[in-house]
Structure 1
Amino acid sequence: MTHSIISKSQLEGAHRLDAEYYQPEYLVLRKNLDKTGHIKLWRDIDGKFITGPFGSEFNTENYVANGKFRYVRGKDVKDFFLTDEDNVYIPNEDYSRLKKYSLSEGDVLVSVVGTPGIASIVDKAVQPAIFSCKSTAYRTTAINPYYFIAYLNSSYGRKLLERSVRGAVQTGLNIDDLKDLPIYAPAEHDQRVVANNVEQAKTAYDESKSLYSQAEKLLLEALGLEDFQSGGELWSVVHLSEVKTANRIDAEYFQTKYEQVIRRIKDIKHSTLGEISSFVGHATQAPYDERGSIAVLAQKHMKRNLQIDVDGFDNFTNDDLIKKNDKKYVLKNCDILISSAGEPGLTSVWMGDRGQKVIPGSFVTVARLENGAEPLYVGVFLNTVAGKLQFERNYTGSVQQYVYPSKMKDILVPILSEKTQQKIAELVRESHEARKKAKELLEEAKRKVEELIESK
């Protein structure tokens, strides 16, 4: 049995009586930090904590499309860098009113609710922006921010923030929890060595995004949709035959933006997703088994750049629990994965990462391509506006939107020349390699922080 023996003075000093706070793992980390002789509490570093605006200060219904002023939500805060896959923006007047919450380059953002303790650094590409109450910002020139973000994401920063989390159902960190975090502040030279890794990782990460954007641009240019703007007409003329074919009578289905995209695809060689796949469907949800060896993939693991977050797999099953008819859904290399709910139409491609055996959950549809279709090309297309609008047209449900596999089979896919498909696929592969390099550099930065601490 794992246990710790704590003196009464330690209990009073920490203002915590719960056993979780005194787990041996946390005590070892704190002991290692104390041995370095270079520890400060976060509150004692010269800097400024900024808490986000209360939810009542901004109504999320006021988001604007393609605005100038970004609103950074709690879910945008990821390890090291903010995600920009699903940005939202606020009107100019709201930004001006809430400008005291605006972010500056080099600010550190820490999530304090939801998944507390995630830390990101703000770069100039994010600005102008404000942040929500789901995070706390920290601004300082007393410690290298790129070193600091590596420390917060190292086992020391992450675990000791985890130690301070409060609550059972709704967990969180308050401002004093952050201020009481012990910070290892080595010599400026050592900070610079770690910071270099993080800055190089950011360069590789930006290169990855640029390469993927080039792939999208090349595809849309080939379709003549690079400057596509959905029509603003509030009406459309539809023939009775079209209503019968679609088996839909709602006006939403016959919006002109959908017809514009479909007409463009039909003008060139094309197929349906069903025609280029051996099957399109999803498995029933297999029961979980914590000792299982088959990972269960959910939408949260899927990224819009087609990658899969294999490190995020947290549920498993085994072969005996998968129904006989569902065994074909155990993933094969180059399978197309499409989210049916949550964010219907979100597409990723399974590339056999680490040889892991994986089966998707019931809300992820598998399209197993055949007839020479290039999976990375198809994946890029489905995530462009031309793919997303086709999925959107087939949404069912008002509260929980859903796209059925039977409708996914009818999604039109343009068949561009093999040379163009391969060029797009190659750009995606280069993008993934750049992201892999970024990840390796960040892991090295965390390792350097830990080695600096443990070498003392």
Structure 2
Amino acid sequence: MLTSTKWKPLGALSHQLTSGHTPYKHDVSEGDVGFITIESVTALSFDVGKVRWITKEQYAEEFSEKRIRKGTVICTIKRRICQAYPFVDDPIQPLTINQDVALIQPTGEIQPAYLAAYLASKVGQAFADRQKTEQMNPYISVESLSKLPIVLVSDTLQTAVTRTFRSGQTKVDQAAAHLAAAEQTLLRALGLENWRPPEPLTYVRRASEVATAARFDAEFFTPRTTQLLAKLGTGGPSIRAAAPPRHEDFTGAGGPGDFDYIEIGALRGDGTAGAERLSCAEAPSRATWLVRPGDVITSTVRPNRRLSALITPEQNGFVASSGFVVLQPKTVSPEVLLTYLRLPPVCEVMDLHTSASLYPAISETDLLKLPFPKLDAKTCDAVTAAVRAAHAARRKAQTLLARAQRAVEVAIEQGEPAALALLSSA
């Protein structure tokens, strides 16, 4: 039973409530301005690695009224509805939204972090479920979103939620810094930290080189690619030798029970993977591979997006999509392999081996043939430690953000004193 009955519709608590759009002329892979889609937003989390891009000209011409700033709350309105994230500070780069994301600028009566936590809570989700228009592909219109009841609490509790959110965000930032350090360490060891390849207007390759490579596209034979392959293959084996594939089939499709499914869209920008609990009877046709702790999964589709992740002990026996290659690190730590596969130069080489234009993909055979460098123990230890520190910081962030969300539910169900006690607990 609710112990708080004071509420207002979201529209009455917002200076601005609107959604974005997709520009007619756009290239969402390059640009100067971050373009947020629903893939970037989950409850109290914002994945910068999944942001797309538009040009600054489009931003100026089409999104002058839909810009993210301090105090903005973004909220998904399609598929995973009402997953919200608050910008408690100004973003470090220009950002805007597409048509599947709502932009909310709250009034002074409600703090952004509390609003985002409320929308993601089971109370906010229950109200949102009543407003959605479909079951298979849920959608909530901006008009319906504006009518969503928002339970109001004291400034004291809202400030405590904001403080907890900030603490969680600090851990997210620490995790990002650790991952960046791991990548820089590995780039430095490969001689790629400040690498500037030659870019001649013309170049020549022997017919024998073309025949050996079994391909005729000029891009593959640029000096840039040639030097990059040489640096990546510094005396080391292939990826297959360092981490052979795991082909452990999922056989539960169509049977009883449930399973945890990792699809390509569930990979996060920090090298971790989310999962969705599904019924075996409704298993997607692409639910293919069983994964084990310490495995590294990497997407064969659009490899330039750096979609690789490390499987945790809690994910033992989860099922991965057929769009992944599942690798078992043997001669290298999982953390080093993960970092290597996510390096932009390595993803660039993978992209050279893709086929198809709509969903460019590299074959498992070609991926396993790619070079893997011989690295010294000091480099491997430093990269491994940095990635482990990043994942530890992320776990702490998840705990803090979940506590902020739970505090909203406790305040409504049990009263504010119980919620404040939860937020003050270690």
Structure number with greater Rg is: 1
Q: Relative to 1, partners in 2 of residues 1:281 and 1:452: Cα closer, same or farther, differing over 3 Å? A: closer
**Aligned partners of 2:48 and 2:269 also within 8 Å:** no
Equivalent residue for 1:83, pick from 39, 47, 50: 47
2:99 is the alignment partner of 1:138: no
Distance 2:186 2:360 in 1: 28
Distance 1:241 1:100 in 2: 58
Structure 1 residue 45 displacement after superposition: 2.1
**Aligned partners of 1:296 and 1:361 also within 8 Å:** yes
Runs of 5+ consecutive residues of structure 1 not aligned to the other structure: 1-31
* Equivalent in the alignment of 1:43: 11
Q: Relative to 1, partners in 2 of residues 1:285 and 1:230: Cα closer, same or farther, differing over 3 Å? A: farther
Identical pairs, percent: 20
Distance 2:251 2:265 in 1: 17
* Equivalent in the alignment of 1:339: 299
Equivalent residue for 1:197, pick from 142, 159, 164: 164
Q: Relative to 1, partners in 2 of residues 1:95 and 1:244: Cα closer, same or farther, differing over 3 Å? A: same
Amino acid at match of 2:262: L
List per-residue Cα deviations over 1:422-447 (Å, max 9, x = no partner): 11011101100111011101111111
Structure 1 residue 258 displacement after superposition: 2.0
Please give the secondary structure, in 2, of the residue aligned with 1:396: coil
Please give the secondary structure, in 1, of the residue aligned with 2:395: helix
Equivalent residue for 2:95, pick from 121, 129, 135: 129
Amino acid at match of 1:360: A
2:224 is the alignment partner of 1:263: no
Query: What are the equivalent positions in structure 2 for 1:86-101 lying under 5 Å apart?
Result: 86-97=50-61, 98-101=63-66
2:366 is the alignment partner of 1:407: yes
Please give the secondary structure, in 2, of the residue aligned with 1:414: coil
2:217 is the alignment partner of 1:250: yes
Equivalent residue for 2:125, pick from 158, 170, 187: 158
Structure 1 residue 262 displacement after superposition: 1.0
Distance 2:77 2:281 in 1: 32
Distance 1:241 1:119 in 2: 56
**Aligned partners of 1:282 and 1:363 also within 8 Å:** no
Structure 1 residue 58 displacement after superposition: 4.4
Q: Relative to 1, partners in 2 of residues 1:41 and 1:209: Cα closer, same or farther, differing over 3 Å? A: same
* Equivalent in the alignment of 1:353: 314
| Aligned length in residues | 409
Distance 1:136 1:400 in 2: 28
**Aligned partners of 1:198 and 1:442 also within 8 Å:** yes
Runs of 5+ consecutive residues of structure 2 not aligned to the other structure: 416-426
Q: Relative to 1, partners in 2 of residues 1:434 and 1:289: Cα closer, same or farther, differing over 3 Å? A: farther
Structure 1 residue 271 displacement after superposition: 1.6
Structure 1-normalised TM-score? Answer: 0.82
RMSD: 2.8
**Aligned partners of 1:340 and 1:364 also within 8 Å:** yes
* Equivalent in the alignment of 1:119: 84
More divergent stretch after superposition (436-445 vs 105-114): 105-114
Query: What are the equivalent positions in structure 2 for 1:235-384 lying under 5 Å apart?
Result: 235-266=202-233, 268-277=234-243, 279-280=244-245, 282=247, 286=251, 288-289=253-254, 291-292=256-257, 294-310=259-275, 312-314=276-278, 316=280, 330-343=290-303, 346-353=307-314, 356-370=316-330, 372-384=331-343
Q: Relative to 1, partners in 2 of residues 1:353 and 1:44: Cα closer, same or farther, differing over 3 Å? A: same
Structure 2-normalised TM-score? Answer: 0.87
Distance 1:284 1:255 in 2: 39
Distance 1:316 1:253 in 2: 43
**Aligned partners of 2:258 and 2:280 also within 8 Å:** yes
* Equivalent in the alignment of 1:396: 355
List per-residue Cα deviations over 1:362-409 (Å, max 9, x = no partner): 221122222x31121011011102321221121122332221111112
Structure 1 residue 257 displacement after superposition: 3.0
Distance 1:299 1:352 in 2: 19
* Equivalent in the alignment of 2:421: none
* Equivalent in the alignment of 1:14: none
Equivalent residue for 2:191, pick from 224, 227, 238: 224
